Amino acid sequence: MIQPRTLKGFRDYLPDLMIPREWMLEQARKVYRSYGFAPIDTPALEYADILLGKGGAETDKQLYRFTDHGGRDVALRFDLTVPFARFAAEHIATLGVPFKRYHMGPVWRGENTQRGRYREFWQCDFDTIGTTSNAADVETALVIHDLMTALGMERFEIRINNRLLLNGVLQQFGLSELAAAVLRTLDKLPKIGREATSVELVRSVGITSEQANKVLDLASTSGTNAEVLDRVEHDFGSQPQVAEGLARLRQLLDAAREAGIPERRLRIDLAICRGLDYYTGTIYETFLTDLPQIGSVCSGGRYDDLASLYTRQKLPGVGASLGLDRLLAALEELQLLTKVSTPAPVLVVQFSPDYIGRYQALARQLRADGIGVDVFPEPKKIGAQLQYAEKRGFRLAVIAGPDEFTQGVCKLKDLAQRAETTVEQRLIAAKVKQLLSN
Amino acid sequence: MIQPRTLKGFRDYLPDLMIPREWMLEQARKVYRSYGFAPIDTPALEYADILLGKGGAETDKQLYRFTDHGGRDVALRFDLTVPFARFAAEHIATLGVPFKRYHMGPVWRGENTQRGRYREFWQCDFDTIGTTSNAADVETALVIHDLMTALGMERFEIRINNRLLLNGVLQQFGLSELAAAVLRTLDKLPKIGREATSVELVRSVGITSEQANKVLDLASTSGTNAEVLDRVEHDFGSQPQVAEGLARLRQLLDAAREAGIPERRLRIDLAICRGLDYYTGTIYETFLTDLPQIGSVCSGGRYDDLASLYTRQKLPGVGASLGLDRLLAALEELQLLTKVSTPAPVLVVQFSPDYIGRYQALARQLRADGIGVDVFPEPKKIGAQLQYAEKRGFRLAVIAGPDEFTQGVCKLKDLAQRAETTVEQRLIAAKVKQLLSN
């Protein structure tokens, strides 16, 4: 006998976890589609050379890489961005620009397992490519906002920055060539604090401690959005990159307000810069007010060139990625998920096998009205069937035996209220709807 | 520069193919849920010993198998049944029986590529385990029926058999020990014809040509469902397994009729037996009347013991699997898919970047009403934007410039009818809905 087990860092999704996960995927899909992002899919497996060296040495080490039947060097994708770059290079002539896509699927990373982090997890990415227009940056913020509210989040904040500000300031400081290294280090500020970041900027990046202080002062600028932007304008507004970054951020805030996004949901935060060299413009991170410890749950930014490794055609764009499984694991750990094991609210109790056709006829009447109905497969004792129903989280039980079928009625039992009513079978859908809406 | 390319036997899904695929997945999900099947998910990667030897030597050869970072012998799942057996053995004590699950996800097989067959494809499985009740067999037929109609299929036939019939008859012929081999060969009858099947039954399985004829006569029994069953009853009804198989098939047909399934959709076909040794009772295959060449698009059956390799607990059950990507590839090849590249029907044309906040405000008004809206990111010429809209399959364009914003109106252009109307902005949702419903 083989011991049933999953690999370390992998997990099964049982219904009580899969039901909320499917709901979250459905919400994300709805929001993306509502903005006109079109779905795509790419293979889980790619040629290794497509994936190698795109996420840094750490990611290369974590690749699930092997030789396939045809002797090809292949690997499982570790994110959805690199496959999208390959995809765009291959198909953009067919697709045309601007092109807006979303992509939801599993990715694999053989990283050390931590609480709430798995080696297989779903990402939900959306991007607009083929345009440098700030309208796409504005829309990205709106999509993140609508995504979070569609996922039932109320207390969250989208932190926004623009790398043009930091790059412009670093240029003014004569640190242009070290900009990428400075930003990579600065990205750690929220995690390791000002002291440690300063030390690293001096020792590893090689800037002076005076320069490090100036950079850290800028990144730590606090106040209302207007105050922060005015302060940067006052100090560095004459630098052309800074001026452009400020104009784009201001347009983003104005447009978001006009579009109806509550102002408290968007915060300019000059410390937000993402670790990836890749980003060149607007930067987004999203934090849950009550779960800051899980980090950003939806992050992204603007880039100048998506697919430079695969094509000479320049593909600028902007997008973000929802860390769906990370968010789900956090909600699970914090016991914020309602545990239900059935996607159907109604159970039809089986009194006798003689009626299974009629039970299914009743059930299909309800299903045609969009109500999920499970028919219990065995004529067990009614009590045992009702126990099954309660344990799984059904809300209503339909009970009908010989008497009820003779009279053309059935009993409806509200499992939470423990109340029973009798209803004509032909009117069952309306009554069930009414009871479920209570 | 790295050449952007996918592995042989793998494919990208562009929006015009991914939109119908997502729609199909959504339909399947809806139908499964409407019957109370609960979603689960399992990892793409499993320990190789979990997967090896479960699908036969051919499947073992096709496994994507390798050694992971921790020196583990791992492989990508080749179907969803074996992972479900492992899952059930591991979790059934927590889940309880009966347990109804669906599982939709990609599987991988390194098989020789053929037209319309890929090395990565999605399966959509549903199963009821922990019960031998025929009510679950009845329901399986109903689910297949509702699945096909939800997928827009009108002309299809679910062919049904019960292995008890064939096994009973083979027992009567004294061929019990060869039953599995006979059924594996008989499964090829629709593909290779009576002559070749007979030859193989004699040469490979080792029964006499007289026995082969009897078996083939039985498998070829034609007539109405009642005629076929009556004929079997007349010839073999005294054999206990045959009697039980007949009773179960009759109850299935009666219950399906009572539940409202049109009689033409279910056909008793004694030649349908599936190649897998695994099945012990009811057998299902589903054929499209207009696409018989693609084979069965939804197949399954009843089994005595799902997880005997992983647990001593006996888990009988019944279920079926929808070959979603095979069906999709067939519809694509036959040009039966409507090619649309956007999931949103409405495009808001950008007249000037000054209005991007107001365009998004208009768009969010429509999105709140469930209407997908794309806002064009650049202030290109209106003509070019309308061309983009037509090419992608948008149905309506919203046009508003300074005059319209002053008057609080916008123009709605029906892209197919090439008709334009002006509407007050605050009434836009109702008007768009009306135009889209035409």
pLDDT of the residue at A326: 83
Return d(Cα B333, Cα B328) in angstroms, integer.
9
Q: How many CB atoms lie within 10 A of CB B362?
A: 24
> Across-strand partners of B410?
B423
The tens digit of pLDDT for each residue in B54-112 reads: 877 888 999 999 999 999 999 999 999 999 999 999 999 999 999 999 999 999 999 88
Q: Which positions ≥6 away from A411 have C-beta within 8 Å?
A: A398, A399, A400, A404, A420, A421, A422, A423
Helix/strand/coil for A137: helix
Q: What is the DSSP letter of A369?
A: T
- Indicate yes or no: CB of B35 within 8 angstroms of CB of A106: no
pLDDT of the residue at B340: 84
The tens digit of pLDDT for each residue in A323-357 reads: 998 888 888 877 878 778 899 999 999 999 999 99
pLDDT of the residue at A292: 86
Closest of A325, A337, A296 to residue A116, by C-alpha: A325
Helix/strand/coil for A366: helix
User: Token digits for B409?
Assistant: 């109106």
> What length is written for chain A?
438
| CATH architecture of the domain formed by B15-333 | 2-Layer Sandwich (3.30)
User: Token digits for B25?
Assistant: 């997945």
> Across-strand partners of A312?
none
Return d(Cα A163, Cα A161) in angstroms, integer.
7
**CA distance to partner chain B, nearest, from residue A182 (Å):** 28
Return d(Cα A95, Cα A85) in angstroms, integer.
14
Give the nearest chain B residue to A89 (CA atoms). B4
pLDDT interval class at B248 (50, 70, 90): very high
CB-based contact A92:A315 (threshold 8 Å) = yes
pLDDT (average), residues B245-260: 97
pLDDT of the residue at A218: 93
**Is the peptide bond prior to A379 cis by the omega test (within 30 degrees of 0)?**
no
Give the nearest chain A residue to B67 (CA atoms). A66
Return d(Cα B360, Cα B355) in angstroms, integer.
8
ipTM confidence: 0.94
CB-based contact B111:B292 (threshold 8 Å) = no
Return d(Cα B278, Cα B272) in angstroms, integer.
14
- Indicate yes or no: CB of B66 within 8 angstroms of CB of A67: yes
Average model confidence (pLDDT) across chain A: 94
Q: Which positions ≥6 away from A237 have C-beta within 8 Å?
A: A243, A246
Token match 């809806």: residue?
B30
pLDDT of the residue at B17: 93
> What residue ranges of chain A have pLDDT lower than 70?
none
Dihedrals φ, ψ of B81, to 5°? -80, -45
Q: Which positions ≥6 away from A369 have C-beta within 8 Å?
A: A429, A433
A258-275 CB burial, b ≥16 within 10 A, e <16: bbebeeebbbbbbbbbbe
Helix/strand/coil for B58: helix
pLDDT interval class at B329 (50, 70, 90): confident
Closest of A35, A268, A248 to residue B359, by C-alpha: A35
Domain ranges of chain A: 15-333, 346-437
Residue type at B207 in one-letter notation: I
Return d(Cα B401, Cα B406) in angstroms, integer.
9
- Indicate yes or no: CB of A18 within 8 angstroms of CB of B38: yes
Closest of A74, A69, A79 to residue A306, by C-alpha: A79
Token match 């914020």: residue?
A336
**CA distance to partner chain A, nearest, from residue B435 (Å):** 18
Tell me, rounded to whole angstroms, the distance of Cα A270 from its chain centroid.
23
pLDDT of the residue at B157: 97
pLDDT of the residue at A339: 79
Residue B71 vs residues A48, B47, B60, B66, B74: alpha-carbon distances, Å: 20, 11, 20, 9, 9
pLDDT of the residue at B33: 97
Return d(Cα B422, Cα B400) in angstroms, integer.
10
The tens digit of pLDDT for each residue in A190-219 reads: 889 999 999 999 999 999 999 999 999 999
pLDDT of the residue at B276: 72
pLDDT of the residue at B57: 84
pLDDT of the residue at A57: 84
Residue A108 belongs to what H/E stretch? strand A99-108
Residues of A in contact with B120 (CB under 8 A): 43-45
Residues of A in contact with B91 (CB under 8 A): 12, 14
The tens digit of pLDDT for each residue in B348-398 reads: 999 999 999 999 999 999 999 999 999 999 999 999 999 999 999 999 999
**Is the peptide bond prior to A4 cis by the omega test (within 30 degrees of 0)?**
no
Closest of B38, B127, B36 to residue B317, by C-alpha: B127
- Indicate yes or no: CB of B259 within 8 angstroms of CB of A374: no
CATH assignment of B346-437?
3.40.50.800
Closest of A138, A267, A300, A262 to residue B359, by C-alpha: A138
pLDDT interval class at B52 (50, 70, 90): very high
Q: Which positions ≥6 away from A257 have C-beta within 8 Å?
A: A263, B357
Residue A431 vs residues A186, A349, A411, A437: alpha-carbon distances, Å: 60, 17, 11, 10
Residues of B in contact with A86 (CB under 8 A): 4-5
Tell me, rounded to whole angstroms, the distance of Cα B143 from its chain centroid.
11
Return d(Cα A302, Cα A162) in angstroms, integer.
9
Residue type at A55 in one-letter notation: G
User: What global pTM score does this model have?
Assistant: 0.94
Tell me, rounded to whole angstroms, the distance of Cα A308 from its chain centroid.
26
How many CB pairs (< 8 A) connect A and B?
Answer: 327
Q: Are strands A120-129 and A99-108 parallel, antiparallel or unpaired?
A: antiparallel
**CA distance to partner chain A, nearest, from residue B235 (Å):** 27
The tens digit of pLDDT for each residue in B399-418 reads: 999 999 999 999 999 999 99
The tens digit of pLDDT for each residue in B262-306 reads: 999 999 999 998 877 789 999 999 999 988 888 899 999 999 999
